[in-house]
C-alpha cells in the first residue's frame, strides 16, 4: 500500500526517473518527498527498470485492435480514408499514418481536419 503526505514547508528532492504510461522514462525532477510505505502491505508489486521502450506486451495488441475497430467508423464520416496505421513507436498516441483516395488538391488537409475533429 502506498501512503503519502506533502508538507509545503519541506524541501524538494530530486526523484526519478519514473516510467511513463507510454513505456518511456521521464526525466528526473524536483518533487516533494512525501511517499512512505507500510510494513504490513496488502499487496506487493514492483516496477522493473528494464520495462521501457515502445509497448511490447498487451498494449501492442490493443493498439493494433484500436486501428481495426476505428477504421470503419472513421470511414463513415471521412469516406476518403482507405487505411490507417498507428505505429507502436509512437505509442499508438502521437503518430498516425493515413492512406486516402486523393481526388483533388488540398484533400489531405480536409481529411486531417476531419480526423482532428474526431473526439
Q: What's the pLDDT tens digit per position in 10-68?
A: 888 887 777 665 666 778 888 776 555 556 655 544 444 444 455 555 667 788 888 89
* pLDDT recorded at residue 34: 56
Clarify whether 51 is annotated catalytic.
Answer: no
Q: Where are the domains of the chain?
A: 1-53, 58-116
Catalytic residue among 20, 51, 83, 101: 20
Q: What's the pLDDT tens digit per position in 80-105?
A: 999 998 887 766 777 889 999 999 99
pLDDT classification of 72: cutoffs 50, 70, 90 = very high
* CA pair distance 9, 32, nearest whole angstrom: 10
58-116 has which fold? UbiD C-terminal domain-like (3.40.1670)
* CA pair distance 104, 106, nearest whole angstrom: 6
* pLDDT recorded at residue 41: 54
* pLDDT recorded at residue 98: 93
Instruction: For residue 41, give the C-alpha cell.
Output: 502491505
Closest CA to 80 of 106, 108, 116, 117: 108
| pTM, two decimal places | 0.52
Amino acid at each position: 500500500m502506498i501512503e503519502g503526505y506533502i508538507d509545503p514547508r519541506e524541501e524538494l528532492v530530486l526523484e526519478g526517473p519514473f516510467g511513463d504510461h507510454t513505456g518511456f522514462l521521464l526525466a528526473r525532477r524536483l518533487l516533494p518527498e512525501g511517499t512512505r510505505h507500510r510494513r504490513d502491505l496488502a499487496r506487493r508489486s514492483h516496477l522493473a527498470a528494464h520495462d521501457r521502450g515502445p509497448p511490447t506486451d498487451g498494449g501492442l495488441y490493443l493498439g493494433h485492435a484500436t486501428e481495426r475497430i476505428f477504421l470503419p467508423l472513421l470511414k463513415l464520416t471521412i469516406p476518403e480514408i482507405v487505411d490507417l496505421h498507428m505505429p507502436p513507436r509512437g505509442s499508438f498516441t502521437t503518430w498516425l499514418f493515413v492512406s486516402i483516395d486523393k481526388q483533388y488538391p488540398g484533400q489531405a488537409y480536409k481529411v486531417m481536419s476531419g480526423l482532428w475533429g474526431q473526439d
